[in-house]
Structure formats: structure tokens, C-alpha cells
Amino acid sequence: MYGLIGQMFAAQGRREELIAVMCASVGEMPGCLSYVVARDPKSDDGVWVTEVWDSAESHKGSLAIPEVKATIEKAMPLIARFGEHFETEPVGGHGLA
């Protein structure tokens, strides 16, 4: 499995708009086992995204899905900056096959 945990900061006052964009088009993403968008409780503008994929290749392939590309295009103007970024190797847990 392949995991990503990433932090981003919305433009001031636009976090809820960014979250709405990132959650609106969550549909079929082959190989995606988990995709979670969360508010950062320590920051008014912070957002965390946690993803688990069956492989790094599936994640890379998702970037070519038209809906994913459109979401990225809509989200980018709402993002002020990116924070921490971690790649992980999930081994199991609730909700993962």
C-alpha cells in the first residue's frame, strides 16, 4: 500500500470553500482505499488530506482522471501555501483491506 498525508493552507477565510471543492468530486478513483479531508484544529486556514492507495502507481494514475484534474484546477487558486507532506507505507487498520 501507498499512503500520503499532506497539509495545506487555504487563502485567508477560504478554508471551507477549499474543503467543499476537495470533497465535491470524490468519486471513483481506481486503487484509492481511503481519501480524507480534515480541518486542522490548530489553524484557521489549515487542511490535512490523508490518502491510502493500493500502490504509488494508482495514485500517480489518478492525476490523469478528468474529475481529479478539474478538482486540482479549482482548488489551486484557493490554496495560499502547502505545509508538511509525508509518504507512508500503510500496513493495515480499520477500513483498509
Residue in 65, 64, 46 with CA at minimum distance from that of residue 5:
46
| Cα(69)–Cα(34) distance, integer angstroms | 18
The 10s digit of each residue's pLDDT in 35-71 is 999 999 999 999 999 999 999 999 999 999 999 999 9
pLDDT over 90 at 93, yes or no:
no
What is the tens place of the pLDDT at every residue in 15-27?
999 999 999 976 7
CATH topology classification for 2-88? Alpha-Beta Plaits (3.30.70)
The answer to whether 87 and 2 have CB atoms below 8 angstroms apart is: yes
Domain locations in the chain?
Answer: 2-88
**Predicted pLDDT of residue 96:** 78
* Closest by Cα among 88, 83, 87 to 42: 83
Distance CA 15, CA 47 (A): 7
